[in-house]
């Protein structure tokens, strides 16, 4: 397995172009299954998760061609049974369930996998599809859904820790071809849901309310092809903003969407970073004086769970005590023990991490446990003195496009070490 070797202790400065959003592009790719016509998707990031999704689409019968960041997909004739080995590797693959059911009236999909960051059941996905009239069975590692006819209904999708993003996406896609009107209450409000809705509308769907807790879908008989550009990845932008703050550098993020980063930028400013906004450009400068922070992860527009680990790495350098509370996933502090290998002082108390910062970080070998934990370890390694080797960076490749090359352009001393 590949690793990153980092020589830290340098302020990083320069420009980074933010890639298309991983969390937006996966359901958008799944949505191409809703039509037999050609769809063109632009600004598609070169990620392993995207590669898995394209293999899944091809295994279902879709034709896929790629030209740089532009994908052309035509799902003229498809089957309703997903490849078990491909789907089980990635949680985002569950979003093929809604489109397959809507178009073929039946689907068989394996239960998905993904990062080990806590229980992420798909019960709300299945509740939503049942609400449209589907028969659902879960057995032997597979989900089987069948519905001769989907009927629009009012469906409440609220869960124990708030709305479900992929569940909202799945139900919204299924409802586009259902009869009548579907109203999703307690829908996820994330920008990625809005981006999917924009693509579906471009395909001929009738959707209002995306980005609010109530989404209304008027079913149509068929959807057509469309041309769509994916939104910028707000988590990649937030990660590079944290890099600037943690290393005392200045990084300009081209293509970033500040309107999608409100909670993250607020906490970075609270930590002492300076933020400048302009059209299509966001600049973050670390002042070298990092302050403690208090964070609680929440559904959008609250602080995103996908930025919790990165801000914990920043908090390790802030003299004083920071408190980081995780309300979305119960096992998302696995990076804490690895940060402690670098010299961090972190105690886990239930859903909260208490970080006593200000102690110098020193390079050491560390092991990544999941995608965002990997990013946190890279940030800490860039700020630490000496050499840090981050193992298992295949997690990073799932969600960051050529991260080490972008960091090198900022002046980072980082290289990828190929695995044996």
Residues 198 and 289 in one domain: no
pTM of the prediction? 0.96
Neighbours of 74 (CB within 10 A): 17
- Of 229, 251, 268, the position where a domain reaches its end is 229
Which residues does 297 contact at the CB level (< 8 Å), separation at least 6? 303, 304, 305, 308, 325, 326, 327, 328
Q: What is the pLDDT of residue 92?
A: 78
* Local structure of 181: helix, strand or coil: strand
Last residue of a domain, one of 186, 210, 229: 229
**Whether residue 302 is found in the same domain as residue 352:** yes
What per-residue confidence (pLDDT) applies to 293?
Answer: 98
Over range 332-340, report the average pLDDT: 94
Alpha-carbon distance 95 to 100, whole Å? 9
Are 152 and 113 contained in the same domain? Answer: yes
Q: Does one domain contain both 380 and 248?
A: yes
DSSP code string of 19-74:
PBPHHHHHHHHHHGGG-SSEEEEES----HHHHHHHHHHHHTT-EEEEETTEEEEE
- Report the pLDDT value the prediction gives residue 267, as an integer from 0 to 100: 98
211 confidence band (pLDDT: 50, 70, 90): very high
215 Cβ contact list (under 8 Å, min separation 6): 168, 172, 183, 184, 187, 193, 197, 207, 208, 209
* Token duo for residue 65: 């061609």
Is the distance from CB of 391 to CB of 335 less than 8 angstroms? no
The pLDDT tens digits for 282-316 are 999 999 899 999 999 999 999 999 999 999 999 99
115 given a catalytic annotation:
yes
Number of Cβ atoms within 10 Å of the Cβ of 248: 20
CB distance 234 to 241 below 8 Å:
no
Are 119 and 221 within one domain? yes
Among 229, 256, 283, give the residue marking a domain's end.
229
Among 39, 115, 189, 316, the active-site one is: 115
Alpha-carbon distance of 101 to 148, in angstroms, equals 9
| Segments of 154-213 assigned E as strands | 154-156, 181-185, 206-208
Asked whether residue 322 falls in the same domain as residue 215, the answer is no
Q: What is the pLDDT of residue 352?
A: 96
The verdict on 213 and 238 lying in the same domain is no
Q: How does the average pLDDT of the chain come out, rounded?
A: 94
**Residue 231 corresponds to which tokens in the numbers above?**
């939104």
Could you tell me the CATH number of the domain that includes residue 267?
A: 3.65.10.10
- Range with lowest mean pLDDT among 98-112, 187-201, 301-315: 98-112
Residues 276 and 254 in one domain: yes
Token couple for 137: 């069975």
Say if residue 223 is in the same domain as residue 267. Answer: no
Q: According to the model, what pLDDT value does residue 82 have?
A: 78
Phi, psi for 305 (deg, rounded to 5): -60, -30
Surface-to-core class of residue 370, CB atoms within 10 Å of its CB (0-12 exposed, 13-18 middle, 19+ buried): buried
pLDDT tens-digit series, residues 22-37: 999 999 999 999 999 9
Q: In which residue are the tokens 């560390």 written?
A: 366
Placement of tokens 């390079």 in the chain: 363
DSSP E strands, 212-341: 214-218, 227-229, 250-254, 274-278, 281-285, 294-296, 320-325
Residue 319: CB atoms within 10 A of its CB come to 12
* Span of 110-119, 181-190, 194-203 with lowest mean pLDDT: 110-119
Domain assignment of residue 106, given as a range:
22-229
Give me the percent of the chain exceeding a pLDDT of 90: 87
pLDDT at residue 117 is higher than 70: no
Q: What is the pLDDT of residues 174-188, one digit of tens each?
A: 999 999 999 999 999
Reduce the DSSP state of residue 123 to 3 states and report it.
helix
Tell me how many domains the chain contains: 2
Residues 283 and 365 in one domain: yes
Answer whether the bond into residue 301 is a cis peptide, omega within 30°.
yes
Whether residue 109 sits in one domain with residue 134: yes
pLDDT at position 115 is 41
* Domain match, 141 and 257 both: no
Q: Residue 343: what pLDDT?
A: 97
Note the pLDDT of residue 113: 56
Supply 15's token pair: 């420009």
Is the pLDDT reported for residue 118 higher than 60? no
Count CB neighbours of 67 within 10 A: 9
Q: How confident is the model at residue 81 (pLDDT cuts 50, 70, 90)?
A: confident
């Amino acid at each position: 397995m590949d690793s990153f070797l980092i020589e830290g202790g340098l302020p990083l400065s320069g420009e980074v172009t933010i890639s298309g959003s991983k969390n937006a592009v996966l359901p958008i790719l799944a949505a191409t299954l809703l039509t037999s016509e050609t769809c063109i998707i632009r600004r598609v990031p070169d990620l392993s998760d995207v590669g898995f999704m394209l293999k899944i689409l091809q295994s279902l019968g879709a034709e896929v061609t790629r030209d740089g960041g532009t994908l052309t997909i035509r799902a003229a004739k498809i089957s309703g049974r997903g490849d078990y080995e491909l789907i089980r590797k990635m949680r985002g693959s569950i979003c093929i369930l809604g489109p397959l059911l809507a178009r073929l009236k039946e689907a068989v999909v394996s239960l998905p996998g993904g990062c080990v960051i806590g229980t992420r059941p798909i019960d709300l996905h299945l509740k939503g599809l049942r609400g449209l009239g589907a028969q659902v069975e879960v057995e032997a590692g597979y989900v089987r859904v069948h519905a001769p006819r989907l009927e629009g209904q009012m469906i409440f999708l609220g869960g124990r820790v708030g709305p479900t993003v992929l569940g909202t996406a799945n139900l919204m896609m299924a409802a586009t071809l259902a009869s009548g009107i579907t109203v999703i209450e307690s829908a996820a409000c994330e920008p990625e849901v809005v981006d999917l809705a924009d693509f579906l509308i471009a395909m001929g769907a009738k959707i209002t309310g995306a980005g609010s807790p109530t989404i209304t879908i008027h079913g149509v008989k068929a959807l057509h092809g469309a041309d769509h550009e994916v939104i910028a990845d707000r988590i990649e932008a937030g990660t590079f903003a944290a890099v600037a703050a943690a290393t005392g550098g200045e990084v300009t993020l081209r293509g970033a969407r500040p309107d999608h980063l409100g909670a993250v930028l607020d906490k970075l400013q609270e930590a002492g970073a300076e933020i400048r906004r302009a059209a299509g450009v966001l600049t973050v400068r670390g002042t070298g004086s990092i302050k403690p922070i208090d964070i609680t992860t929440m559904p959008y527009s609250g602080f995103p769970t996908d930025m919790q680990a990165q801000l914990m790495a920043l908090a390790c350098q802030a003299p004083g005590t920071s408190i980081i509370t995780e309300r979305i996933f119960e096992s998302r502090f696995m990076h804490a023990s690895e940060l402690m290998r670098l010299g961090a002082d972190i105690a886990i108390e239930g859903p909260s991490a208490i970080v006593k910062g200000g102690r110098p970080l020193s390079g050491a070998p560390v092991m990544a446990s999941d995608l965002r934990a990997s990013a946190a370890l890279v940030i800490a390694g860039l700020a630490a003195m000496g050499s840090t080797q981050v193992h298992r960076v295949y997690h990073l490749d799932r969600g960051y496009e050529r991260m080490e090359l972008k960091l090198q352009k900022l002046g980072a001393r980082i290289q990828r070490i190929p695995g044996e």
